[in-house]
């Protein structure tokens, strides 16, 4: 008799990964749940949310009757994700730590742990994304010889695993997965890729997973929690006071604590001014931030035409229409 396919599912203690694990069990695979601890400090209320999440992930495993493991990547997260995040901020760029976390932690450290230590045939996460491979093809990849280095020829490019957008376009997370290596992508299953969030919640409710259903949706940057972003960053970066200057008439409108705290297109709250102002330029030498006033829609349009992939006021990055993972 053929041994069961072994899929190791990353369980965050949230509803998405819990339902992902449940669906994998229903498909008849041998499933193992793994919780990763990536951040060690307390949240804004002095509570270590990772411990609570870990307990929730453990309970999911009990309900689904699957083995549970916990791993710590606190050091790796600090070195490969957070330090890089701070360095980039200091240079005035606004990186997305979730993209870097997926690349270095979930789809590298966790992937290798699952395959090398737990003997996984494939890994799974609760991301809303799809790939060009069916489950059966994912399992076949175990024996495919990994191409070394970058793609060398058209054949390799043509046969690359494609990262495809999720059916639920509102929840689509392919942008955050865009730097995942081919090696990991080819052995990953995204059980939620074809489902809507609504349906995922319904599945959880019907399968005794109420404890994860009540949890708040994570909004990225897990290490910040509900804290004020600026306060958080200034715990790690030296303040560098400067001026907000209107780009239209060079008038000084107010002061800020560091030009690196702002991203192009972001709405800047300038003390005493009620109308919206948006960041259009930053001077790293003098430390000034240039702003423009105007309705959000006009500014947004100007920025989109000008190119930066950021929408004003929310700091949201614009996901590309289709994402292919070309990295090895």
Query: Could you give the residue numbers annotated as active site?
Result: 101, 222
The whole-angstrom separation of Cα 251 and Cα 254 is: 9
Out of 7, 8, 10, 289, which residue is the one contacting ligand ATP (CB under 6 A)? Answer: 10
Residue 165 CB, nearest approach to ligand ATP (Å): 15
Q: How many residues does the chain have?
A: 328
> Could you tell me if 262 and 310 are in contact, meaning their C-beta atoms sit under 8 angstroms apart?
no
Alpha carbon distances (Å) from 64 to 42, 116, 199: 29, 24, 19
Contact flag: residue 70 with ligand ATP (CB under 6 A): no
The first and second tokens of residue 136, run together, are 């059966």
Out of 5, 7, 14, 85, which residue is the one contacting ligand ATP (CB under 6 A)? Answer: 14
Residue 105 CB, nearest approach to ligand ATP (Å): 9
Out of 11, 60, 133, 185, which residue is the one contacting ligand ATP (CB under 6 A)? Answer: 11
Number of residues binding to ligand ATP, judged by CB under 6 A: 16
Residue 226 CB, nearest approach to ligand ATP (Å): 15
| HSE, side-chain direction, 13 A CA sphere, residue 295 | 3
**Which lies closer to ligand ATP via its Cβ, residue 117 or residue 159?**
117
Neighbours of 29 (CB within 10 A): 22
Contact flag: residue 12 with ligand ATP (CB under 6 A): yes
Contact flag: residue 16 with ligand ATP (CB under 6 A): yes
DSSP β-bridge partners for residue 6: 30
Contact flag: residue 218 with ligand ATP (CB under 6 A): yes
| HSE, side-chain direction, 13 A CA sphere, residue 69 | 14
Binding site for ligand ATP (CB under 6 A): 10-12, 14-17, 35-36, 38, 106, 125-127, 217-218
């Amino acid at each position: 008799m053929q041994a069961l396919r072994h899929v190791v599912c990353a369980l965050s203690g949230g509803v998405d990964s819990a339902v992902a694990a449940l669906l994998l069990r229903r498909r008849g695979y041998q499933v193992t749940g793994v919780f990763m601890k990536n951040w060690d400090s307390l949240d804004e209320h002095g509570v270590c949310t990772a411990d609570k999440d870990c307990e929730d992930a453990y309970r999911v495993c009990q309900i689904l009757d699957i083995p549970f493991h916990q791993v710590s990547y606190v050091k790796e997260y600090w070195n490969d994700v957070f330090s890089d995040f701070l360095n980039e901020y200091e240079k005035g760029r606004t990186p997305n730590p979730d993209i870097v976390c997926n690349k270095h932690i979930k789809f590298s450290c966790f992937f290798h742990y699952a395959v090398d230590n737990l003997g996984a045939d494939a890994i799974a996460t609760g991301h809303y994304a799809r790939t060009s491979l069916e489950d059966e093809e994912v399992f076949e990849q175990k024996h495919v010889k990994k191409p070394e280095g970058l793609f060398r020829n058209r054949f390799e490019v043509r046969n690359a695993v494609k990262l495809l957008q999720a059916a639920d376009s509102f929840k689509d997370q392919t942008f955050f997965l865009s730097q995942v290596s081919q090696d990991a992508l080819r052995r990953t299953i995204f059980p939620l890729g074809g489902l809507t969030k609504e349906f995922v919640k319904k599945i959880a409710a019907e399968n005794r997973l109420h404890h994860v259903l009540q949890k708040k949706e994570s909004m990225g940057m897990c290490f910040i929690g509900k804290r004020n972003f600026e306060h958080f960053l200034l715990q790690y970066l030296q303040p560098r006071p400067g001026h907000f200057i209107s780009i239209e008439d060079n008038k000084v409108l107010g002061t800020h604590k560091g030009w690196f705290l702002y991203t192009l297109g972001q709405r800047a709250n300038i003390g005493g001014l009620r109308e919206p102002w948006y960041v259009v330029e930053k001077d790293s030498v003098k430390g000034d931030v240039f702003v423009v006033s105007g309705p959000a829609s006009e500014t947004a349009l100007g920025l989109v035409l000008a190119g930066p992939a950021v929408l004003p006021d929310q700091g949201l990055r614009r996901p590309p229409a289709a994402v292919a993972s070309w990295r090895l």
